[in-house]
Structure 1
Amino acid sequence: MKVRDVMIRGGLTLKESNTFYEASQLFINNQVEVIPILDEKEILISLLTKNDIIDNYMKGTKPDINIKYLSHSKKNIIDEDSKIDNYVNDKESYMAVKNAQGKFVGIFSVNNMLRKGITNESEKINELKKKLNCTYECSQGRLNCTELDAVIESSFDGIYITDGKANTLKINKSYEKITGLQRKDMINRNMYELEKEGYISKSATLMVLKNRKTNTIEQEFSTGKKVLVSSNPIFDDKGNISMVVTNVRDITELYELQEELAKNMKLTEKYYSEIEAMRIQYLNLSDIIAKDKTMLDLLEVAKRVANVDTTVLILGETGVGKEEIAKFIYQNSMRRSKNFIKINCGAIPQNLIESELFGYVKGAFTGANKEGKMGLFEVADGGTVFLDEIGELPLDIQVKLLNVLQEGEVERVGSVKPIKIDVRVLAATNRNLEDMTKDKSFRADLYYRLNVVPLIVPPLRERREDIIPLIQHFLSQLNKKYNFDKTFTIEAVNTLYNYNWPGNVRELKNIVERVIVMSSSDKIFENDLPIKNLANIIKKNSTSDDICNLKEAVGKVEANLISKAFDSAGNVRDAAKMLGIDASTFVRKRKRYLEQDVL
C-alpha cells in the first residue's frame, strides 16, 4: 500500500513570503499540527509545525519576519508513491506528501494510519518498549513506568494525560507552572467536571474523544493564563481510544505581543491617515507638491506660523521652493485677501532699490516723477511683503528695512516725514546670513529681527519622496500646455529619482520641460535625459589622449569640480557638502585656483 492511499488530501499551506505573525494566526485559528510551506512556484519545500512556531516565539522572533528565515524541517517530506512500510517506525508524527512534480498533495500521519488498522498496533507498542527500555502497562487507569515518568516530569511542555473516558491520569510539574493549577485538584477527576466547574474554558481531550483525531485549540484557565494545547489520541489493538495525551505551551506572552502588534498597526494607520489629511489640507491651498514627510512637517509648522503676524525667514538652497512656502504662509494667513508683493532684492539695481522699496517725493532727484511715487511697502499696506534674496540687500537699505520692522513706518526718498504702514514681512535667502553678520556684510540687528521664526526648506535630495510626484505634476502641466501625450519610461524615472539635484526643484522642472520639448517620440527614455553629474566631469577630464604632468591633471580636475559645484550650489557651504570636504578647505582651494586664473 502506498502513502497516497492513506494520506489526508489537501490542507492549509503557507508561502515563503508569509510572515511569522501570519503563520501564528493560521495555527491559532485552525486545529492543525503542521502546515506545509510552498515556494513561489507552488513547490513543497518544507514543513512548519506548531512547535516551530512556539520555539521561534520563545527565541523572540519578530512578527514581521518572513517564515523562510524561521527554523523548520525539510526531512519530513515524502513522495506519494512511497510505500507506507517505510514509515511505520518513523519518529515523525506528520509528514508532508508531494507528487512527482514536487507539489504538495496531502499530509501523512502515522496515527491516521493506525486508526485505519493498516499496521499492527501491538507490534508498534512492543517496538516502543524496546526503545524506552521500560515496561508499559495501562491497567485500571494507572500508569507504571519509572523511566517514562521521569521523561514526562522533566518535559519543558506541560503534559496532561487522561484515559479513554476523560479521567485524569497524570499531570507534570510544567503543566502546573504554565497553568497555575495544582495537580492534586485535578488527578482522578473527569474532564467533563473540570470544564463545567470552570477550571478550563474548553477541553481538547473531550474533542478528541468525540471526533477521534488530534485537536489543537486555545485554552484559558481560571487563573487567567492562556495556552495552546494539542491533544492526541492513543488507540488500543481494537481501535478504541485508550488514552489522550495533551501538550501545553504558554502563549500568554504571544497574545500580549499580538495585541501590541495590533495596536501598533492601528497607530500606523492613524498616523498615515493624519499625514494624508495634512497633505490634502495643505496642498489644496497652494501649488506645492509634497508627499515626503519632511516636507509635510515643514508645511505643518508653516501653517501654524501663518496664523500670526510674526516675521518669517525662509532658508534653503537655490531652487528648493522658498517662494512657494512664502505663498503658502500668505494664503493661510489673515491677510490673504490683501496684497502679496514679491520683491527680488538681487534683481533691482542698487541705485534704484531705495526708491522702489520706499518711494520718493516729487523733485527728490533728477528724472523722478513730478508727482512722486509710492514705494512697494506702501503698496503692500495691510498685506504681505516677500523679500526674496534678502542677503543681496545693500547695508544702507538694511537700516531702513530695520526701521520698517521695528517702527512700522517708511520714509520716502527726499522726505523727512515718516508714513505709517501695516505689513507683514517674509524674507528668503540661500545665503548664510549668520556668517555674513560676522564679516559685516549683513547687519546683525536686522538678522536677529528677521530670524524670529526660521523655516529651513530641505533640498530635493533630502526629500526624495517628492521627486516622482513633482515629475508627474510637471509632466501633466506640460502635456496640457503643448497638447502632448508623453510619458517617462521606468528607467528614466529611476535615473531622475537617483540624481542628486544640485539645482533642486527648479532644475527638475527645467529638465522635464527640456526633454518633453526635445524628445521626438511619446516615450522619454533614459538616454534622452540631459543629466550630468560629477562622475561625468571626472570622466571627461580624465580621458584625454595627451599625457601630461599628473599633478597638473589632478589640479585641473579639482578646479573644474570646485567651479561646477559652486555654480550649482550658489554658496560655499553647500558646494563643499556636494564635494564631501570642509567649507574652509573649499574656500582655500577655490581662492588658490582663482589666483592662478584657473577658474
Structure 2
Amino acid sequence: MTDLVKRKVISDSGSLIVIRKKTPVTLHQQFRTGKEALVTSSPIFDSTGKLIMVVTNVRDLTEIFSLKDAVQRKTAALERLRLELAHLQETVIKDELVMKDEAALSALLLANRVSPMDTTVLLLGETGVGKEVLAHYIYQNSRRSHGSFIKVNCGAIPESLIESELFGYESGAFTGANRNGKIGLFELANKGTLFLDEIGELPKAMQVKLLRALQEQEIMRVGGTKPIQINTRIIAATNRNLKDMVKQGKFREDLYYRLTVFPISLPPLRQRPKDIIPLAESFLTKLNQKYSFQKHFSPYSCRVLQEYAWPGNIRELKNIVERAIIISSEDEIRPEDLHIIQAPKAPLPLREESPAPTLHPHVSSSSTALSELPANLTRLLAAQEYAYLQKAYEQTHTVREAAKLLHMTPSKFVRRRKRCQELLQLP
C-alpha cells in the first residue's frame, strides 16, 4: 500500500492510516485511472490489544459522483433558464430607453462605445434615473447578448447569505444547505453579464472576494476547495458616492479602481428637461394599451410635469402617470389629477382675443360707448376668478388647502376652476 501511494496509483491508504492511528478511518480515495471510492478501514486487535489485521471496505463511487455532477449540471441549467425567463418577462414590460436630452444622450454615447467590449462598467446616478435600463441596453448591444443577463441587488440580500448567493456552495457547506450544493450567480452568468446593482451596499468582507473574481476571473464556492474559472462580464451600479466611501474606509480602494474602469454618470431627471414629456407620454401609451384607455395630457398638465423638480426621478414620474390615469375621470388628464406637490411658477397666459378695457368708477353704463365695454363680460369675470383660484393653488400647492383658503369645498373649487378653463378655452 505504501508503494501504491508513492507511485500515486491511489491518493491515500486507509490501511496505513489505521496502522498509524489504531482507530477506524473513512476517506475519499482517488485512483490514477480516474475512479473514485469511499474507503472505510477498521483495526482488528488480539486479546492483548495488539493490531493483527486491518479490514477495509471499498465502495466504488465513480458512477455516483458522475450522476451527482450530471444532476448539478441539470440543476444549474434549469436555474439559469428560470432566471433568464424571469428576466425576459421583465423585459416585455420594461420601459423603453427614452433619451432625447443632450445630458442623457452623452451618457448613451458612452454606453454605445463600451457595449461591444468586455470592460467592467460602473453606472452612477441617483435612485430612479434608469441605471438598470441602461445596463440592459449595454447587454443587448454587447457580444454577450446571446448569454444570460443576471441581476442581483447587493443591498437586498442578507449579509450572511450574500457569499453563497454570489459564489454558490458545496454539499454540506453549512447547516440547512442543499445536500446537492448550489450554483452561484457568477456561474449562472457565465459567458453572459452579471449586473450588480447597489454595489455600494456590498459588505466589506465580500469586497475582497469580488475583487478576486474581477481580477482572476475565478471564484470559490462556500465549502469548496477548488477554484472555478468563470467568463462573466460585470456591470455595477450605485447611487452612492464611492469615492467618499473609500475616504471613510467603507469601500475598498483597490475594488473602487477596479470598478471604475469605465464609469458612466446618468444625470437626474431635473437636469434632463427634454426627456420629461417623452417619458411621460411613453408611460401613458403603455398604460392606455394595458387598460384600453385613450387618455392624454392637457397642455397645462405638461407644463406642470415640466416644471416639477422630480426628486424621485423616472420612477416617480412613472408612478405619478399611473396614478393620474386612474384618478382622472375624463380622457384629458388635468393638473389636479397629477397630485404633484410643486405647482408651476405661473398660470398659462389667457387667450383673450383683445385686452378688455377697465371701466372708470365715475362713468355710468348709460353714458359709456359700447366700444369701451368689455367684448365678453363673462370671459372677463372668468379670467378674474381663474386668476384667484390659481393664486390660491400656487400658495397652498393642494386643492384642499386652496379651497379652504377661499372658503369653499374642494369639489366646488375644482368645478369652478374647470368652468373657468372651459370659458377661457384653457387646457
After TM superposition, the score normalised by the length of structure 2 is 0.58
Q: What does residue 362 of structure 1 align with?
A: 171
Corresponding residue of 1:452: 261
- In the TM superposition, residue 287 of structure 1 has moved relative to its aligned partner by 2.2
1:499 pairs with 2:301: no
Distance, in Å, in 2 between the alignment partners of 1:452 and 1:415 is 30
Matches within 5 A, 1:416-435: 416-435=225-244
Matched, 1:293 2:293: no
What is the correspondence of 1:520-531 to structure 2 with a 5 Å cutoff?
A: 520-531=329-340
Pick the aligned partner of 1:383 from 167, 172, 192: 192
The equivalent position to 2:221 in structure 1, one of 412, 428, 436, is: 412
CA deviation after TM superposition for structure 1 residue 538, in Å: 9.9
For structure 2, list consecutive stretches of 5 or more residues without a partner in the other structure.
Answer: 1-94, 346-392, 402-427
How far apart in 2 are the matches of 1:482 and 1:350?
41
Distance 1:455 1:374, change over 3 A: same
Tell me how far apart the structure 1 counterparts of residues 165 and 189 of structure 2 sit (CA, whole Å).
12
1:413 and 1:538 map into 2 onto residues whose CA distance is 60
- 1:468 corresponds to: 277
2:181 and 2:97 map into 1 onto residues whose CA distance is 39
Runs of 4+ more than 2 Å apart: 533-540
RMSD: 2.1
Q: Which of residues 311, 314, 325 is equivalent to 2:134?
A: 325
The residue matched to 1:334 in structure 2 has which SS? coil
**What are the equivalent positions in structure 2 for 1:126-145 lying under 5 Å apart?**
none
The unaligned stretches of length 5 or more in structure 1 are: 1-285, 544-599
Residue 397 of structure 1: aligned partner: 206
| Residue in 1 that maps onto 2:160 | 351
Name the aligned partner's letter for residue 467 of structure 1.
I
Q: Distance in 1 between matches of 2:267 and 2:139?
A: 20
d(CA) in 2 for partners of 1:498 and 1:325? 25
Per the alignment, in what secondary structure is the counterpart of residue 350 of structure 1?
coil
Pairwise CA distance, 1:297: 2.1
Alpha-carbon distance in structure 1 between the residues aligned to 2:192 and 2:98? 25
Q: How does 1:532-551 map to 2 (within 5 A)?
A: 532-533=341-342
Distance 1:528 1:539 in 2: 16
CA deviations on 1:298-355 (whole Å, 9 max, x unpaired) are: 2111111011111110000110000111111111110000000001111111111111
Q: Say which SS state the counterpart of residue 341 (structure 1) adopts.
A: strand
- Kindly state the Cα deviation for residue 416 of structure 1 after the two structures are TM-superposed: 2.3
The C-alpha deviation readout for 1:152-184, integer Å capped at 9, x for no partner, is xxxxxxxxxxxxxxxxxxxxxxxxxxxxxxxxx
1:222-266 deviation digits (Å, cap 9, x = unpaired): xxxxxxxxxxxxxxxxxxxxxxxxxxxxxxxxxxxxxxxxxxxxx
Q: Amino acid of the residue matched to residue 346 of structure 1?
A: G
Q: Which amino acid aligns with 1:302?
A: A
SS of 1:468's equivalent in the other structure is helix
Q: Give the one of 279, 293, 297 matched to 1:484.
A: 293
Deviations 1:524-564 (A, max 9, x none): 11111111149999969xx9xxxxxxxxxxxxxxxxxxxxx
Matched length: 257
Deviations 1:258-294 (A, max 9, x none): xxxxxxxxxxxxxxxxxxxxxxxxxxxx920111122
- Give a deviation string over 1:8-49, Cα, whole Å, max 9, x none: xxxxxxxxxxxxxxxxxxxxxxxxxxxxxxxxxxxxxxxxxx
SS class of match (1:351): coil
Structure possessing the higher relative contact order (Cα contacts under 8 Å, 6 or more residues apart): 2
Cα distance in 1 for partners of 2:395, 2:151 equals 40
Q: Which amino acid aligns with 1:310?
A: T
SS of corresponding position for 2:339: coil
Q: Give the 5 Å matches for 1:246-285.
A: none
What is the identity percentage for the equivalent residue pairs of Structure 1 and Structure 2?
59
Letter in 2 for 1:323: E
How far apart are the structure 1 equivalents of 2:172 and 2:302?
59
